[in-house]
Amino acid sequence: MATPERQAAWRRVAAWFGWGALAGLGYFVLLPVLLGGVALLPVAIVAFEDGVLESLISAAVGLLVVLALGGAVSIPAALLFVAAVLLGVELRRGAPLWRQVGPAFLLATAAIACYFLLPALFGGQQLQISPQQAHALGQMFGLPAAEVRSITAQVGAMLPAVAPLYGGFILFEGFYFTRWSLLARHQSLPEIRPFLYWTAPEWLPPLYLVLFAAQLGSGLLGLSAEAQRWVGFGVLWSEVPLLVIGLAILSFWLARLGIPPIVRVIVLGILLVTPAFAELLIWIGILDVFIDLRRIRGSTSST
C-alpha cells in the first residue's frame, strides 16, 4: 500500500505533466491569436513552486504536445518554454525586475523570430499560417481569411519590428498572468509597482512625435526606402510602450469608478484589438507625460 508521502510525490509528478500539457495546448491554440503569453504560465508556476528540473520536465511534456498537435518543427515552442522556466526561477529567487524579465524577453523574441522564419527555412513561404488559424483571426478582426493570410505574409517582411514587439507582449502577458496565479495560490512575491501606476519615460513621447513626423514627411525629407522602413520600425517600437501606458491610465480610471477587475480586463482587451481605440490609447499615453492624467507623477518615478 502506498504511503501518504509516495502518493503526494506521484501527485506532484502528475501535476508536472498536467501543467506541461496545458502549456503545449496554450502555445498551439493561443499564440496565433495574441495570447501566447498564457503558454508561459504553467511552466513558470512549476519552476516557482518545485524547481528547475521539474519545470524542464513540464516544458518537455508541453513540447511533445505541440509536436503531437502541430506536427511541425517546434523550436519556437522550446524557446518559449525555456523563457517560462527562467521567468519562474527568477520570480522564486526574488530577483530584481530586470532580471526577472530580461533573459525571458530575449528568449521570447527569439521564439517569435523563429516562429516567423521557420516556414521559409523549411521550404514554405515566409510566415504562413494554417487555414484554421487564418479563419480564427479573421473572425476576431472581421476580415476574410484570405486577407488575413495576405497581411500575415506582409508582417513577415517586418520581422525586425514584429519579433521584439510580439516577444515583449508575450512576456508582459506571461509575467502578469504568472504573478496573478501565484498570488491566487497564496505564494509570497516581492512587491512591484501596480500596473495602474505605470508611467512612460519623459523622453519617449517627444521621440515618438519626431519619428511620426519623419514618417509622414518622408517624401519631403527625401528618405530612401530603407530609411523609411527603419523609421516605420521606430514608430512601431515606440508605440507599444505608449499603448501599454494608455491601457494603464484607462485601467486606473476604471478602477476609480469601481469597475471589477474582470470587467476591466474584458474592456481593455476589446479596446486593444480595435485599431481606432488602440490608436487613441497611444495618444493618451503621450498626453500623460505632458498633463499627468492621474496626478501621480510627483510621487512615482518613470517606468
Contact between 84 and 61 under an 8 Å Cβ cutoff? The reply is no
The region, left, alpha or beta by phi > 0 then psi within -120 to 50, assigned to residue 192 is beta
Q: Are 27 and 39 in contact (CB under 8 A)?
A: yes
Would you say 78 and 63 are in contact if contact means Cβ atoms under 8 Å apart?
yes
Q: Are 199 and 245 in contact (CB under 8 A)?
A: yes
* Contact call for residues 27 and 83 (beta carbons, < 8 A): no
Euclidean distance between CA atoms 186 and 86, whole angstroms: 21
For residue 40, pLDDT beyond 70: yes
| C-alpha–C-alpha distance, residues 247 and 252, integer Å | 8
**pLDDT one-digit tens code per residue, 161-180:** 667 777 777 887 888 888 88
* Residues sharing a CB contact under 8 Å with residue 268, sequence separation 6 or more, in sequence order: 247, 250, 251
**What predicted TM-score, i.e. pTM, was given to this entire model?**
0.62
Q: Distance between CA atoms of 82 and 149, rounded to whole angstroms?
A: 29
Q: What is the per-residue pLDDT for 36?
A: 72
Give 217-245 pLDDT, tens digit per residue.
877 777 777 787 778 778 877 887 888 88
Output the DSSP codes for 125-143.
-TT---HHHHHHHHHHHT-
Domains parsed from the chain with CATH numbers: 4-184 (1.10.1760), 195-291 (no CATH)
- How much is the pLDDT for 121? 45
Helix, strand, coil shares of the chain, percent, nearest 5, are: 80, 0, 20
